[in-house]
Amino acid sequence: MALLQIVGLGKSYDAETSVLKKIHFDVKAGEFVSIIGPSGAGKSTLLRCINRMVSISEGTVRFDQQDVGGLKKKELRKLRTDIGMVFQHYNLVPRLTVIENVLHGRFGYKSTLQGVMGRFSEDEKQQAFFLLQKLGIEEHAYKRCDQLSGGQQQRVGIARALIQDPKLVLCDEPIASLDPNSSKIIMDHLKSITSELGITCLVNLHQVEVAQQYSDRIIGLNEGEVVFDGTNHQLTTDRINRIYGIETRELITV
């Protein structure tokens, strides 16, 4: 059974513009899936529909057998504990320490008072240090996040997502702001730690070669439509050209 099922998903912000058009695909538990496509293809909007950071205009998103579009506020809060999010620009609190930012990933499990008071269990703190150690930044635990490099901040963002104990992690252009060396470190960690912990990963990428290197499967978007869905070995030069609009687009399912 698929962990994530997307059927006929559409998203429009106004009557004239459709950002996503009848998106269909499933993601199995444990898969590492990359989404590629030109700027404006709808990649970020797609991820935000999955955890309903933006509303769904049409179609269905089912996550772990739940209809995401039909969830009430309390149910949606619970769902989001199972879906971690990693952002392009880290989305950290710069003046707080690394460990404090990581523990923010537990807020979904806390009451408002517990969150405000920063009440975290010893188990949660130990898990935070475990993840920082896995990501190679344990020695920075008590530094303010604004003292870290971009690559280090992104690792904090990954740790914050993973401490939720999610079933799925959504990564929105996690290496777009990083140099090649930092990008490799981030992708190596993302691939290894999600595989080790059995977490499904869906990641938006601009870099086709990175998607080919790390992914079990690649989905290509162009103008809000799926135009490729297959393995990295099936992503030929001709298919890449079609994803990026160099040739006439047509749906390719392999």
Per-residue pLDDT band at 112 (split at 50, 70, 90)? low
Region 154-158: mean pLDDT is 97
- Computed over every residue of the chain, the mean pLDDT equals 92
pLDDT at residue 117 tops 90: no
Position 65 scores a pLDDT of 93
Position 109 scores a pLDDT of 80
Which two tokens mark 244?
């990026």
Phi first, then psi, for residue 67 (nearest 5°) are -80, 105
Position 245 scores a pLDDT of 82
Position 31 scores a pLDDT of 96
Region 3-8: mean pLDDT is 97
Q: Which residues contact 240 (CB under 8 A, 6 or more apart)?
A: 208, 220
Percentage with pLDDT > 90 across the chain: 85
pLDDT at residue 250 tops 80: no
Position 247 scores a pLDDT of 53
The rounded distance, in Å, linking the Cα atoms of 129 and 37 is 36
Position 107 scores a pLDDT of 85
Position 251 scores a pLDDT of 47
Task: Identify any residues that bridge with 221 across adjacent strands, giving them in sequence order.
Answer: 226
Domain 1-82+166-254, second-level architecture:
3-Layer(aba) Sandwich (3.40)
Residue range 11-54, pLDDT digits in tens:
998 877 899 999 999 999 999 999 999 999 999 999 999 999 99
The strands making up 18-27's β-sheet, listed across from edge to edge, are 18-27, 4-12, 58-63, 66-67
Contact (CB, 8 A) for 63 and 55: no
Domain locations along the chain: 1-82+166-254, 93-165
Position 15 scores a pLDDT of 78
Residue range 163-213, pLDDT digits in tens:
999 999 999 999 998 999 999 999 999 999 999 999 999 999 999 999 999
Q: Which of 51-65, 108-122, 216-230 has the lowest mean pLDDT?
A: 108-122
Residue range 71-87, pLDDT digits in tens:
999 999 999 999 999 99
pLDDT at residue 242 tops 70: yes
Position 17 scores a pLDDT of 84
Per-residue pLDDT band at 229 (split at 50, 70, 90)? very high
The rounded distance, in Å, linking the Cα atoms of 120 and 13 is 39
pLDDT at residue 254 tops 80: no
The rounded distance, in Å, linking the Cα atoms of 100 and 5 is 34
The rounded distance, in Å, linking the Cα atoms of 218 and 201 is 12
Half-sphere exposure for 76 (CA within 13 Å, toward CB): 14
Per-residue pLDDT band at 160 (split at 50, 70, 90)? very high
Q: Which of 107-111, 164-168, 240-244 has the lowest mean pLDDT?
A: 107-111
Task: Identify any residues that bridge with 61 across adjacent strands, giving them in sequence order.
Answer: 6
DSSP H stretches of helix in 198-244: 208-214, 237-243
